[in-house]
A and B are shown apart, each in its own frame.
Chain A
Amino acid sequence: MSNIIECRNVCKYFGEKTALDSVSIDVPEGKIFGLLGPNGAGKTTLIRIINRISIPNSGEVFFNGHQITQSDVEKIGYLPEERGLYRKMEVGDQAMYLAQLKGMSAADAKAALKEWFIRFGIQDWWKKKVEELSKGMAQKVQFITTVVHKPSLMILDEPFSGFDPVNAELIRKEILRLKEEGSTIILSTHNMESVEELCDNIALINKSRLVITGGVNQIRHDLGNNNIELVYTSESAVESAEGLFDVLSDENNAGRHTAVLSLKEGTSSNDALSALLTTGVSINSFKELIPRMNDIFIKLVTEEA
């Protein structure tokens, strides 16, 4: 599987301030890639560099294996976090303009736009001025203008913000459909639930540095604290086993216990399980606790601090 975007040691400075410090990421083709990080971490700077809006001070960006050029931006669709359209322009004219800037011919743009307008049920907005639309309506138009030229890479910065749950669901489905059709999507969001749900890979940036990057499942497993959720039945609670595990919590509900065990370094689940069996408790369930993305985010960001 090839990477549509590869960033190699990208550095960007604004005067004295370092915005990106040697960041390297690989965005695999056909996947959804989550770009995470607290506010001010450097996500927007990285997105702008991939978009060629700004040029890195050092480091390289590869697009489909070659160094990215200005003509590649036609294959990228960008939905910035700060949305904006010309307020006085008609929706149709505006969408046509943005599509043509991405290299579409007027005829292709019109046909593709009409199709999208029908899909989103907004055919009758074509002649409306943008200032007559509500914020959510304008966002729908902007989403269409981001994807209408069938970009092979879409960069969506907080795509769900400003949408009601119905429309957020619509956008979510469209993102998955675009992925099905072979597009790659870079998703920058603070909504960790949607990261778990949508993203195949992530990169977490904090204070201008790359903290972690990789597959979502891999990271969640790797960053699990080796915690086990144990459900058992017994008169008395299990106790920490020297050198094997600690009991972090135990909840007794009429003899049925739910405990969280933290395995020590070097202890396998089997070791822990056989130790537990010798205590004579009756085990109902024994499963690895996978951390939520939310917890991983908080843990990594606060650890750095």
Chain B
Amino acid sequence: MDFRIIKTVIGREYATRVKKKSFLVTTFIVPVLFAAMMVVIFLIMGNTKERKQNVAVIDQSGIVLSHFSDTDRLTFEDFSFANPDSVKTHLADYGKDVLVVISPLDTAAKSVSVSAYSTSPVGVEFSSRVASCVDDAVEEYRVRQYGIDNLTQIMEDVRSDVSVKEYTIGEDGKESISESGIYMLVSMLLGIVIWMFIMMFGSQVMSSVIEEKNSRVVEVLISSVKAVDLMFGKIIGVALVALTQFLLWIVLTVVLTSAASAIMGKDVLSKFSSDPDVVAQTMGVSPSQLESMGIQPGTLELADSTAAADAAAMAQAQEGELSMILGTLANIPWTRLIISFLIYFILGYLLYASLYAAIGSAVENVGDAQQLQLPVTIPLMVAYFIILMAFQNPDSGIVVWGSMIPFTSPIVMLARIPYGVPFWQLSVSIALLFITFIGCAWVSAKIYKAGILVFGKKSTFKDIWKWLRMK
């Protein structure tokens, strides 16, 4: 290895990319775009909330109607006088969206059956609301059949409304309030961000190898640089571009949020429930916390605001709700997270980038790479599906195995980390990943050395196998 030459290669790979317009655009537009996207999401959410469904109810049982009460989105009206068939066909004329028909009481089964008619799908919220109202009515009817005195009073007493507060027990035995939703969001973010970055920058290495081969500049290059040096120079150069982009995103977001907080004033949190837009800009994490997260802040901003949106949706959210979210965020092991993110990103990227480089060396244009790419894209897809599972059940077997097996571990482990991972699992996973990287780099270098000199034919897996066995 000639480090002076590798440095020259890294320098070119880095400079040409960072100078590109597309790099500047992504770096500066992405955080702004995320902000804009959030505004759009809020607008859409706001609009859908406004739209109410008008429901006509024909209650032939006589026991249910009193249990229907209007909500934000549903207005019920008694249509029991009308003929179901004629209402059904003239829903719009009556100014109704849905017709609910409750059958006459079946005294043997002590139950009713319910049918809903509408011109467009009614949605889950509607069905669950109607179902729970009807359930209440039927329950009450059945209880009444026992003929107990003071029933209403008893029912009032019996009815309960328990909410679950979750605590996570730390290693020091300290209990802290947690909110599994927040963990899920952070985990989802980390998994997807690292997946995206490995994919994006890995395939950048591939297309850059293909470009050199396609333009034939590679023959001049390897008359000065050893093929392996060229390959690693390229991989490291692109990695530095990725890290630069991270850093700029963090700085940019910190600057944006600080500016926003300064404009909005300190007491912005107290306006929390009244204005979702204010929440969007300032919610959740303070700039210093954001900085300490050290991860792609553009996306993070989205997550925070999604969390905020969730909270905002609980319209009259108490201050306690918010402090719980903040408490959960503060409770996440950020330092460990950042270090793990960097380790897994770097190792995962190196592993995949070296494979992508080998694939790139075997073809002359991007189209031909499709088939050869499969062995690399399949584990990435598998990892993606495993993280989807990790959000629901971070300790299930497939997730734990996925976080150990090197090809999926960078992505899956990151998704697991917010939930807490035993130290030994982390160490084993990182060690395995590192060993696999060394092996893959060696194999890739061999393929690359032979591949970049083969022109004018579409290489197959058979050719690659041949190159591997070549001395």
Q: Is B219 an interface residue (CB 8 A)?
A: yes
- The residues of A that contact B226 with a CB separation of less than 8 Å are 70
How many whole Å from A135's CB to the nearest CB in chain B? 12
List CB contacts (< 8 Å) of A68-116 with chain B: 70, 73-74, 76, 78, 80, 82-89, 93, 97-98, 100-102
Chain B 375-417 against A: per-residue CB contact (8 Å), 1 yes, 0 no? 0000000000000000000000000000000000000000000
- The residues of A that contact B12 with a CB separation of less than 8 Å are 97
**A101 and B219 within 8 A (CB):** no
**B216 and A88 within 8 A (CB):** no
Q: In the bound complex, how far is the Cα of B471 from the Cα of A171, in angstroms? A: 39
- The residues of B that contact A97 with a CB separation of less than 8 Å are 8, 12
Question: From A101, which residue of chain B is reached at the shortest CB distance?
Answer: B224
Instruction: Using known A-B contacts A51-B223, A101-B221, determine if residue A70 contacts B2 with beta carbons closer than 8 Å.
Output: yes
Say what secondary structure dominates the interface of chain B. Answer: helix
Q: Is A298 an interface residue (CB 8 A)?
A: no
- The residues of A that contact B471 with a CB separation of less than 8 Å are 57
List CB contacts (< 8 Å) of A259-297 with chain B: none
How many whole Å from A73's CB to the nearest CB in chain B? 6
Question: From A77, which residue of chain B is reached at the shortest CB distance?
Answer: B223
**B219 and A88 within 8 A (CB):** no
Chain A 43-71 against B: per-residue CB contact (8 Å), 1 yes, 0 no? 00000100111100100000000000010
Q: Is B285 an interface residue (CB 8 A)?
A: no
- The residues of A that contact B215 with a CB separation of less than 8 Å are 84-87
List CB contacts (< 8 Å) of B432-466 with chain A: 453, 455, 466
Instruction: Using known A-B contacts A84-B216, A87-B215, A88-B16, determine if residue A76 contacts B223 with beta carbons closer than 8 Å.
Output: yes
**A48 and B8 within 8 A (CB):** no
**A101 and B5 within 8 A (CB):** yes
Using C-beta atoms within 8 Å of the partner chain, give the interface range for chain A: 20 to 34
- The residues of B that contact A86 with a CB separation of less than 8 Å are 16, 211-212, 215, 217
Q: In the bound complex, how far is the Cα of B222 from the Cα of A195, in angstroms? A: 28
**A102 and B455 within 8 A (CB):** no
Q: In the bound complex, how far is the Cα of B453 from the Cα of A80, in angstroms? A: 12
**B8 and A101 within 8 A (CB):** yes
**A84 and B218 within 8 A (CB):** yes
Q: B residues bordering A, Cβ < 8 Å?
A: 2, 5, 8-9, 12, 15-16, 211-212, 215-226, 453, 455, 466, 471
Known contacts A86-B16, A87-B215, A101-B224; 13 additional CB pairs below 8 A are: A48-B453, A57-B471, A78-B220, A82-B219, A84-B215, A85-B215, A86-B217, A89-B16, A98-B220, A100-B8, A101-B5, A101-B225, A145-B220
A-B contact pairs, 10 of them (CB 8 A): A48-B453, A53-B453, A83-B216, A84-B215, A85-B215, A89-B16, A98-B220, A101-B5, A101-B225, A145-B220
Q: Top 9 closest A-B pairs, CB basis?
A: A84-B216, A101-B224, A78-B223, A84-B217, A80-B219, A82-B216, A84-B215, A51-B223, A100-B8
